[in-house]
Structure 1
Amino acid sequence: MALRSLSILNLLKTKNHVFINNLSNPLLKSNKILYSTEVTVEATPLAVNTQKVSKAMKAYLQRAQEHDQFMKTQHIEYEIGKRHLANMMGEDPETFTQEDVDNAIEYLFPSGIYDKLARPAMKSPDQVFPARKAAEFDETGRPFHSMFYTGRPNFFKLLYDIVEEINKLNDMEERMIRRGTKADAEQKVDLTGFQWIPKEQLEKQLVEMIADIEYNNFVNAMDRLVAHPYSYKMKDFIYKYTKPLLDQSKQPEIPKPQIDEQGRQFITTYECLRKKARADVTIRLPGTGQIKINGEDITYFEHAQSREQIIFPLIFTNMLGKVDIEANVAGGGWSGQAGAIRWGIAMSLRSFVDQDMIEEMRLAGLLTRDYRRRERKKFGQEGARRKYTWKKR
């Protein structure tokens, strides 16, 4: 009895061991129960079902997760910044588009910075950061995409989708023929004024590099889809891979200079607006740098800031001392009048400079009309934004 108690005690002290000695023993397979005064225990480690993951795969999955988390954080910060910008402009944050964001930034920074690299910008993270493929396989090495082993799964999946759309249209055409109806020719997809996206843009969209022959296969497949009588059923799919042709006729027309009695070229710009000021500006070439404002010289403005506003377009275009300026202005204060004349000078100088200089003037904000007005005082406030001092007692 003491021997049996000692054996059971040793059995209870044993951890992580297997208590069956031999599963292949025919006696153990039967339903008989064998009794013994001793229990034989053999230490056998438990089998743990673990799979080793290579360091390269771990690093790959970790980089993919970090990139996804980074993009998620950037999207959250972009939405917060867009909401703040919409509140500053008094717009609805829910309907504030990227075009509204660009216009707001141009409004808040009208002319202070004219270098392309220095101008502030607020774009979606998808446009700022280059697209990267997500994790293509799990820790066991099993690929997520069914076309992973083609080398370009996204591209071949696109070709597969095009063929699937064509097959759907073929089935629809057969059903309509059985009913005795034909496709409406007036609803046919018309790609006039559109073109297929170029190879570089398709590569960015697919996040894959493709060869020229593969891009030609894509174009041929899309042409077959568009040529189908029922292609108008797949308009959304087709227009996703098109882009409009550039319309050169929408370029702003620059007026040609006229000739005065003295044989000099001149150009006059009317309706120069700034706040409540209204002005018209005439520039004559060649000139000696003479500036006349309501019959007076530049000392018409007492403040140096207003005078700098007047001559800034001339300095920027290297036309200071080469032209004569005549301006008539009325209404508003000194700041509004100077701004109206400055815009009129810049618009008139377009007729005397080349296209590159016009582009630099546009980037500098000289050709952008400033529609800002003085904000009215609000009831119950000390000013437009200023509040009365709150006192508890």
Structure 2
Amino acid sequence: MFLSKLYRFVDPFRSISLPKNMYALSVIQQSCTESVETDKTKKPISKAMKAYLERAREYDAFMKKENEEFTLGKRYLANMMGEDPENFSQEDVDNAIEYLFPSGLFEKTARPHMKPPNEIFPERKAAEFDETGRPYHFLFYTGKPNYYQALHNVAHHINELIKFEDTMIRKKLEPDPNLTFDISGYQWLDKASLEIKLVETLGEKDYEYFINSFERLTAMPYSYKVKDFILEYAKPIINKVQKFEAPKICIDSDGKQYVTVYECLRKRARGDVTVRMPGTGKITINGNQGILYFKENQEREQILFPLLFTNLLNKVDVECNVEGGGQSAQAGALRWGISWGLKSFVEEEMAESMRLAGLLTRDYRTRERKKPGQWGARRKFTWKKR
């Protein structure tokens, strides 16, 4: 009797409490399953990615601050010049800087300037791996993936051109000489420019191997088919021939042709040169002095080299005026002026040869400044241990 009453009491309780327990258990099981799935889908972030993200945040904050300061400075500059800040271009900024802050420094890069931060600060290399540390590029572990990717593309193009050449040979066809790719008007990117393009640091041997690979690709008879790829790593030669025309020939009272070249510069030397044709080969420096004005043979050879190169040594007269600087600087300034004067009297082929020989290119080298804490530009003080 007691057991039956106890059964009646417990059984209803079980019928009510059991579904509650089952529901709670199912909820717990579902939450555990979701947490497991979340843990599976959420990939752990590697230490390398954490470091990269931290550097990226710092870089973005720095660039944002610099852009804000540049925009604010450009508005101030526009207000000072009385211009509309909204339509104030970069060219207007450069002109305003030159007007408001005139500088007598010979080196243009040392003069004050204001450029957008993207042009001043180097580009930052993007992430090369995902959150788990898996690299995107198959050449990541070479240490220079962009460099070796470029070489890989060169090898690919060479193999493709070899296959195309074999096909043309089987068809007994020869390459069209009119389509030959001529790279004489271009020069390869220098080591510093190539490192900026690849966003990687290269050694001298790496750069030499890179240039040799591209020269081999360019020398192939059908290299014009990959001209766009080659020109990505070359730049046109910018020189005085492209920027300025040869001085115009004038005629004096005696009926002789002459050309005067002003602003002949080299270091601190300044001069001007007048070339007259026809002549007897007379060279006059500073009114009444000849080639013996220069004490050393090296400076004399600098003056005579343009005349010998163009075979006009005894066919023209040269009148020079020069001041400032030393003997070497004066000789370099006059050599440049004589070369540009002779350019007006020679044919285009000879003018191109003069350009390739470096006669028409200004020498912008200057004396390296002394460094603080040193004896000179490179020389150091004598080190004493005691």
TM-score (norm 1): 0.48
Give the number of the structure whose residues are more often helix, by fraction: 2
Q: Which has the higher contact order (CA 8 A, sep 6+)?
A: 1
Structure number with larger C-alpha Rg: 1
TM-score (norm 2): 0.48
